[in-house]
Amino acid sequence: MKETFEFTPAIKKALFWMMGAGLIGLLFVFLMYPENKHARFWSNITLNVYYFTGIGLFGLFVVAATQLAYGGWQTLMKRIFLSLSAFAAIGGFLLLGILLLGFGHVHSLYDHVMHILHEGAGNPKFTTKLIYFAPAFWIGRLVAYALLWFGFSKVMNNFFARTDQTDPKVYKRSKLLAAAFIVVFALTESAVSWDMIMSMDPHWYSTLFGWYNFASYGCAAWAMTILIVIFLKSQGYLEKVNENHVHDLGKMLFGFSIFWTYLWFDQFMLQWYANIPEDTNFWVKRFDVGYFKFTVFLSLLINFVFPLLVLIKRGAKRNFRLIGFGAALLIFGHYVDFFNYTFFEPNNNEQATHHGSEHAAVKSTEEVVLYADASHGGEHGTTDATAAKHETTAGHSADAHAAGGHHAEEAPKNFAAIGLGELLIFIGFLGVFLYMFFNNLAKRPIVPENDPYLKESEKLTVIYS
């Protein structure tokens, strides 16, 4: 049995080709879409850094959670989960760099927040936002995330490689380390979703957004683990890992897919039902752009319908080809999910940005109508009450039009899309992620021979068989 992964020149060459494709994609997007300070270029970087950082953090979460829960089934694959965190060790610093460049006006990803910081002083509506997005506090949070993620990635990889894991004192410290990371993870993964993704549209908020992000890149992490296990098996590694272990991974992937769907529906349904402008504006803006309306439901189709119809079957989770295809599809599906959150606001033209800000700023219940009613009332018919309310917003519409805005019926232009450039960039970041993963995996034996739960993990294979 091969115990240590050999990071061969052939694998490195393939990953370098992927990185090269990513560089070509970045250059292509930078040159072809210069609108809004190359927003499409920076949106790609932010999306991929955030997505793969989340996958890496989730690997550490799995190790910490199972350590606290006395779990043994995953022990044969523990090194894989730990090595996923290699990208997360630098991901926080990359996110920090993106934020700093935003403050330097290099890109327009956070222009909505910058506008609040510059012109919101004295406005009671923005008091809490001015405190939360104060530059020193905002940057300080990102510095803390980066240092914590880097530190825990290094410490946990080194700690669980120790040869004295069966020592009671060492085992007790492993529980404390796992508990500490769970606390750090719970706080930082939620906060960074607000700081880097939700803040692109600071007028919109969701009380479960941190959970939603956790479920989305959690699905991607389970899928990535399945693909890596299948690949390592094909190379002669992980001899004692068989279809029973992959079946367990498939069950986690299916479970998290249903969990993600629950959060998707919960977030959408409650915001639609409550009919609060700051909430509904987020969805209506996307549904007004045909491309985003398509990708929103494409994400739901891939990430919910496919697992429900295919991965629910026991045989599908034990068939390496089928579960491998499903895992790859879900990695792309959750990329599309984050695309819907990351690309819309920065890639709006100036008119759309002004219109979105203007509408979201309306707060009086006497003058607000669900924007969908105002925009499409002619199609579906409006009641006299709706029409009367709509008249109260005429001044806002007229002012927007006089200032160079557009009629409510006109769909705003958005420069975002998942095109050739986006796919190449995604492949490039995947190459970087896998290079760091395999480089970390090669430093230690794949199977943790000194782990106190190793025999239990092997016995579970016999029981399941």
Please give the residue range of the domain that contains residue 94: 9-348+414-464
Q: Report pLDDT for 372.
A: 41
Q: Does residue 296 form part of some domain?
A: yes
Q: Which of 447, 437, 439 is nearest to 4 (CA)?
A: 447
Q: Does residue 140 form part of some domain?
A: yes
Q: Does residue 43 form part of some domain?
A: yes
Q: Does residue 230 form part of some domain?
A: yes
Q: Report pLDDT for 104.
A: 93
Q: Report pLDDT for 218.
A: 96
Instruction: For residues 77 and 72, give the distance between their C-alpha atoms in angstroms, rounded to a whole number.
Output: 10
Q: Which of 324, 197, 354 is nearest to 250 (CA)?
A: 324
Instruction: For residues 24 and 287, give the distance between their C-alpha atoms in angstroms, rounded to a whole number.
Output: 31
Q: Does residue 437 form part of some domain?
A: yes
Instruction: For residues 252 and 271, give the distance between their C-alpha atoms in angstroms, rounded to a whole number.
Output: 28
Considering its fold, how many domains does the chain have in total? 1
Q: Does residue 172 form part of some domain?
A: yes
Instruction: For residues 216 and 328, give the distance between their C-alpha atoms in angstroms, rounded to a whole number.
Output: 14
Instruction: Write out the DSSP string of 213-260.
Output: HHHHHHHHHHHHHHHHHHHHHHTTB-TT--HHHHHHHHHHHHHHHHHH
Digit-coded pLDDT (tens) for 146-198: 999 999 999 999 999 888 788 888 889 999 999 999 999 999 999 999 999 99
CB 285 within 8 A of CB 351: no
Q: Does residue 80 form part of some domain?
A: yes
Q: Does residue 390 form part of some domain?
A: no
CB 86 within 8 A of CB 439: yes
Q: Which of 112, 160, 184 is nearest to 346 (CA)?
A: 112
Q: Which of 243, 200, 280, 229 is nearest to 465 (CA)?
A: 243
Q: Is 257 exposed, middle or buried (0-12, 13-18, 19+ CB in 10 A)?
A: buried
Helices and strands, number each (H, E), in the chain: 21, 0
- In this structure, which amino acid lies at residue 269? M
SS3 2: strand
Q: Is 442 exposed, middle or buried (0-12, 13-18, 19+ CB in 10 A)?
A: middle
SS3 348: strand
Those residues of the chain that have pLDDT short of 70 are 1-2, 122, 349-412, 460-465
